[in-house]
Each structure stands twice: as structure tokens, then as C-alpha cells.
Amino acid sequence: MIKKISSFLFLGIICVSLFAQNAKSKTNDPLLNNIDKTVKPGEDFFLYANGGWIKTNKIPDAEAAWGIGNLVQEDIYQRLININKKATLVKAKKGTTTQQIGDFWSTAMNTTAVNKNGINPLKKDLARIDAATSVAELLKLAAEFGTKGSSTFFSSYISQDDMNSEQMAFQLSQGGLGMPNRDYYFNTDEKTVKVQKAFKAYLAKIFMQLGNNQGVAIEMTAEVYALETRLAKASRKLADLRDPYKNYNKMSLAALQEITPNLNWHEFLTAAKTPIVDTVIVGQPEFYKALDKELLATNISVWKNYMKYNYVADFAAYLDDNTFMDKFIYSSSMSGAKEPRPRWKRVLDAQEGAMGEALGQLFVKEYFNATAKKRYENLVEEIRDAYKNRIANLTWMSDATKAKAYDKLAKITKKVGYPDKWKDFSAMQISKSSFVENMQAANMWWHNYKVNKLNKPVDRTEWDMTPQTYNAYYNPSNNEIVLPAGIFAVPGKKDAELDDALVYGYAAASTIGHEITHGFDDQGRQYDAKGNLTDWWTEKDGEEFKLRAKNIIQQFNEFIPVDTLHINGDATQGENIADLGGLLLGLDAFKKTASYTSGKLINGQTPLQRYFLGYAYSWLYQARKERLANQVKTDVHSPAKERINGPVVNLQEFYDAFGIKKGDKMFRDENLRVNIW
Ligand SMILES: [Zn+2]
């Protein structure tokens, strides 16, 4: 449901900024400056709109990709550094935000101490794995280590019950793999094979680091790899994880115990400091049956090696340079990055995960004002109105379903900028001991925080993103859109300087309209106004929706972003539906503004042209081939280029704006254009 792609987007080093470049040109209008005049809009609209920028802004060596999110993030990083440096100068009381921020920063930035320590901070736990005499003991350790941030065997978490959004539930899903997903173990294309080799080389390095000679390390790697391949075989594919009903299997703890006789759940929950629950929601029961068999069939020494490599890999980012670099080399097989990002950025990212909201509280005080908050809150209401009109005009939906859709739309909660209520981090044990121990302490705080939610009413005021995040999300269980302050930032511009066309294309369409449409995409439409998974559609209307979704699946299946890899139209349909919906809703709302009706040109561009260029600006982005391949295989979002060229060709206004005609590459026959909302 998340708008932007994974954190890869935020990996960045300082580069020549967009504004420096703009300062030299006649105007500082990104919608003009980013254009590549050698490309016609009808040939490749994405390249026409963004190609000028792409040509002059090389991807930095430390990055997998580079784009608008990085440009915004550069500004945010500078602000966060100021907050951190200020905190280190104060002698603050233990447990205060200032003490935590200051100690976290100074400890993590102390490279001498980090390098001198090596993997010493992990040795005690690694020895406990070695000392275990049974798989049952290992599982108890796995439960305990999970609270510190090293998750093995499977994935467990606590979140809202899909069928009863008033309740939190203990949930289990497939997991336990060292590569991103099951396909990595079975695909045979060149890029995947390269990743498999890099992964095996990485495991062998860890086993040698733990004291084994090369021959033994290679043998251990082969055994662990074979074990993970068996777990991968029992795992579902990306598209098969989309159906919320098939991935919802509520059962009593006793019933779960029956299908996994070798996994003692009472012991596991106790070791994970989690109350013994009556019921569990299991995503993929067949994975648990397969895992249970492996617990007995696989030798305990292989399980030990499996746990040990995971323990080192999970914390490598917070350890000495050698341990970190071994992992970086493996990761770069999927990102294409040529060198690691600078330490200070990695530390800020780690801190973001540990206590981002504490920083956010200080961040918005200094950098987000009430006028901006109001502007975007109003924009949400304009988009809501536009959606209401669209539903009213649908010819394929019955009045009965429409009434429920209106109700759901009206009840979507909007969260804009920052939370009204802040999390209390005072119990988080941040000290000057070591970077890795601070991260483990933060993970334990988060674990307790989640566990404390069990058997309590759901807190609907919470945010799952921090205010300084360049991202946004729709949460179906709360029927809410969450739009952090960071997502509205335009590099080098103050909010008041932005013209309507840019705001409607960049923010209203690509963020607000996109997130609201998630409430009515292939997954979101299956949840009702209260956030419960329940079918509120008439059977015929449901079929009509699927028929239209099929068109967008087909449209995106045709795209080949890298090598011979096609986009997975099925797995990405929710995001593609949200993009198309956002583009339509943003335009509906923009058409009501004086900027549109006056027809006034800005820098020679019509309002309609600027609207589409503003939309394309939200995906100003380029990625390395490795990263693109990784995205196509693991991400439910289509790559940036297709997120622009895919939706625009379904709107007649796009053809009108740029005079695109039959025979142009971007032209799509009217009967093939997708029309859902
Ligand atoms: Zn999305």
C-alpha cells in the first residue's frame, strides 16, 4: 500500500544538487528544466519530462538509484544532522530524547571504537547457539533473538486482525530466507545467478570469520543454502500473497500446535516475552508444515550455522568495517552500488528506524508550518469530492454498492504532516556502550511496544511513518491515509512558491489521490468503512471490477523495464490502479482551480501540460539495472518510468495536452485504454 518504493530510494551521498544546477539556468522551474527536448512527448513521455535531468545527474557511485526522493532526503538529512549535533552538546538526563539522540549519534559515529570491537558484542549470543543441544533449544533462542532484531525460521508480528479491525492479533507468515524472496532460489536468469553466487560467497565469509577454514566454510554454506532452498520451495510467490482471504487462516494455538508438532508454541511465545494467545492468524499454513518437517529432517549443526550467519548478517550494518563490507558486497549484487554510502547517512537511517518519531517531533517544530498542513488537508478534501463524483458517474456499478462506497470514502481518516500524539521512547535503553547494542535495545523497545498492544483496544491515532519521511501509505484496517510532512517537500522550493499545476500533479495526484485509491484497489476494495475484510460488493459489481482490473494487468504485463524481465502485472495491479486513480482525481480537482480555467501559460506551458509534467516530476528517477531487476522481482510497485507512461496513456487529456496522435509510440487505442474509477 506504500506509495514509494523501498528504502533503496533513500540511499544517497551528497551530489551536485538540482538547485545548484537550476540557479545557473534562466528559471528555477523544474518542470521546464528537467525536459529533454530531443525526445518527443508522444515517443516517451517519461524521458521527455525527466530526461534532461537524467542526462546531467549521474547516479552517485554509492547509490542503486537516484531521484526526487533522494533530492528531498538530502535536505532532510542536513536538518537531522543539525538536530543530532545539537543533542551531543547538551548534558541531558538519562531517558530524555536529547540524551537518546545524542548518545546514539556519538556512539555510532565513533568508528575507532566500532572497529576495535569487531564482532565482540555478538560473541555471547553466538556461543549460546553453539552450546544448544536440541532444535527445541535453538527455537527458544530464535524467539529471544527475534526480540533483539534477528529473525530466523519464520516471521511473526502483532498487528490488526483483518476480519476484526478493533483487535490486535498475533500473526505468522512465511519467512526465514536470506535472499529477498523464493524466486531468487529458482530463477535462472543471469542477474539472479549473480545474486545466488554473491549470497553463497557471503555466507562462506561469515563462516570463516567465525573460525572455520575455507573448505569447511564452503561445505557449511552448501548445507545452509540447500535448507533455505527447501523453505523457499514451500513459500508462496509475490502475486499469491495478494489475496487477503487466502493469506488469512485464523486458528487456535492448539490447532497450530497440531500441524507443527515439532515447534513448541508455548515455549516460543514465553521466550519471545509474548503472552500465550488463544488464537493465531497464519498467513501460509503449508509453509509451517514444511518447516516443521525440516526441524526434524535437518541436522542440528546445519540449523546452528543457519542461525549464526543470520545473527551476524542481521547486525552487520552496526559492526566494524570488515563485517559491514562483506554484507555490502552481497547487497551490491542486487543494488549495483559501487561503494557504500557514507557512515553519517547510514547512522541517520539506523536512527530513523530506532527512534525516528522522537527526531520527527523536533523536526516539525522547526521545519513544518501550520499553513502547509492546512493546504494539504484541504487538498485531501478536494480529492475526496472528486472521487465522490467519479463514483456517482460510474455506469458499471449498482446503486447498492455505490452507497457503501460513498460511506467508505467519507470515513477515510486523513493524517497529514505529523501525529497529534507522540510515542514515548523514555524506556528505550540508549547508552554509550556500542552502536550494535543500542540497535538491539531499540529493537527490544519496539518488540515490547507491539506486545503491549495485545488484548487492548486498537490505537487509531498512531502513525507507522515518521513526519520526516518522503513516503505515504493507506492502511486498510484503519481505513486511513497517512501523509507525512516529508512527502510534500519540493527540492529547493518553499511551499508558497509552488504553482497549482505542479501541486496538483505532484502532490494531489501522485500522493493523495494515489493513497485514497488504495482504499478501492484490488485489495483495498475488500475492506469496508470500518477496516474489516468483508465483501460489501454485489457479485456482479465485483465481477465488473475484476474485468477492468484485468485490463490494467494486461497493460503492465507488456512492459519490459530491464533485460527480458516483464513487469508482473498481477502483483503490481494494486499500485497501478492507485496511480491511475490518483492521476484522474488530481486532474478532476485541478480543473476546478482558477489556474486551470484561466488557461494562463507558465514558462510557455499550458495548465494541462504542467499538470502532466508535475505528475512526471514525482517520479524523477533513474536506477541501475541490478536495482531494476531486483525491483521487478520483489516489489509490488512498477518502476518509475512505467508509473508515468503507464497511467498517462489512459487519459484523453494527455493526448490533447501534447498533441499526441495515432502512429505515435505513446498512443494507445481507445478500446485498450483502462477505465476503472
Ligand atoms: Zn501505493
List pLDDT tens digits, range 574-621.
Answer: 999 999 999 999 999 999 999 999 999 999 999 999 999 999 999 999
Phi, psi of 397, deg, nearest 5 = -110, 135
Q: Quickly state the pLDDT bin for 100 (edges 50, 70, 90).
A: very high
Distance 442 CA to ligand 1 centre (A): 28
pLDDT in tens, 309-318: 999 999 999 9
Distance 636 CA to ligand 1 centre (A): 9
Q: Please give the Cα distance from 157 to 298 (Å, whole number).
A: 26
- Ranges of each domain in the chain: 7-78+346-672, 120-318
Q: What would be the CATH architecture of the domain defined by 7-78+346-672?
A: 3-Layer(aba) Sandwich (3.40)
Distance 484 CA to ligand 1 centre (A): 14
Distance 479 CA to ligand 1 centre (A): 14
Distance 226 CA to ligand 1 centre (A): 35
Q: Quickly state the pLDDT bin for 363 (edges 50, 70, 90).
A: confident
Q: Do residues 195 and 253 touch, judged by C-beta distance below 8 A?
A: no
Count how many Cα atoms sit within 13 Å of the Cα of residue 472 in the half-sphere of its side chain. 31
Distance 326 CA to ligand 1 centre (A): 33
User: What is the four-CA torsion angle of 43, 48, 49, 51, rounded to 10 degrees?
Assistant: 130
CA dihedral for 491, 496, 497, 499, sign (positive or negative): positive
Phi, psi of 314, deg, nearest 5 = -65, -25
**How far from the centroid of its chain's Cα atoms is residue 611's Cα?**
26
Instruction: Inform me whether the pLDDT recorded for 130 exceeds 80.
Output: yes
Grid cell of 27 as nine digits: 528559471
Q: Please give the Cα distance from 84 to 102 (Å, whole number).
A: 6
Q: Do residues 280 and 171 touch, judged by C-beta distance below 8 A?
A: yes
The pLDDT score that the predictor gives to residue 2 is 55
CB atoms within 10 A of CB 276: 10
The pLDDT score that the predictor gives to residue 314 is 98
Q: Quickly state the pLDDT bin for 362 (edges 50, 70, 90).
A: confident
Distance 3 CA to ligand 1 centre (A): 3
Domains 7-78+346-672 and 120-318 share a fold: no
pLDDT in tens, 549-567: 999 999 999 999 999 999 9
Q: 623-635: b or e for each residue (b if 16 or more CB lie within 10 Å)?
A: bbebbbbbbbbbb
Q: Please give the Cα distance from 504 to 493 (Å, whole number).
A: 16
Q: From 30, 4, 1, 18, select the one nearest 469 (Cα to Cα).
A: 4
The pLDDT score that the predictor gives to residue 313 is 98
Distance 302 CA to ligand 1 centre (A): 39
Q: From 410, 414, 409, 638, select the one nearest 525 (Cα to Cα).
A: 409
CA dihedral for 605, 609, 613, 615, sign (positive or negative): positive
pLDDT in tens, 157-204: 999 999 999 999 999 999 999 999 999 999 999 999 999 999 999 999
CATH number of 120-318: 1.10.1380.10
Q: Please report which helix (H) or strand (E) contains residue 441, including its range.
A: helix 435-451
Distance 472 CA to ligand 1 centre (A): 8
Q: Please give the Cα distance from 401 to 110 (Å, whole number).
A: 60
pLDDT in tens, 51-88: 999 999 999 999 999 999 999 999 999 999 999 999 99
Instruction: Inform me whether the pLDDT recorded for 20 exceeds 70.
Output: no
Q: Please give the Cα distance from 214 to 670 (Å, whole number).
A: 62
pLDDT in tens, 484-506: 999 998 998 888 889 999 999 99
Q: Measured between alpha carbons, how far is residue 572 from residues 225, 285, 303, 550, 558 in Å?
A: 29, 24, 35, 12, 13
Q: From 8, 57, 47, 30, select the one nearest 471 (Cα to Cα).
A: 8
Distance 645 CA to ligand 1 centre (A): 16
Question: What percent of the chain is modeled with pLDDT above 70?
Answer: 96
Q: Please give the Cα distance from 648 to 655 (Å, whole number).
A: 9
Instruction: Inform me whether the pLDDT recorded for 16 exceeds 80.
Output: no
pLDDT in tens, 613-635: 999 999 999 999 999 999 999 99
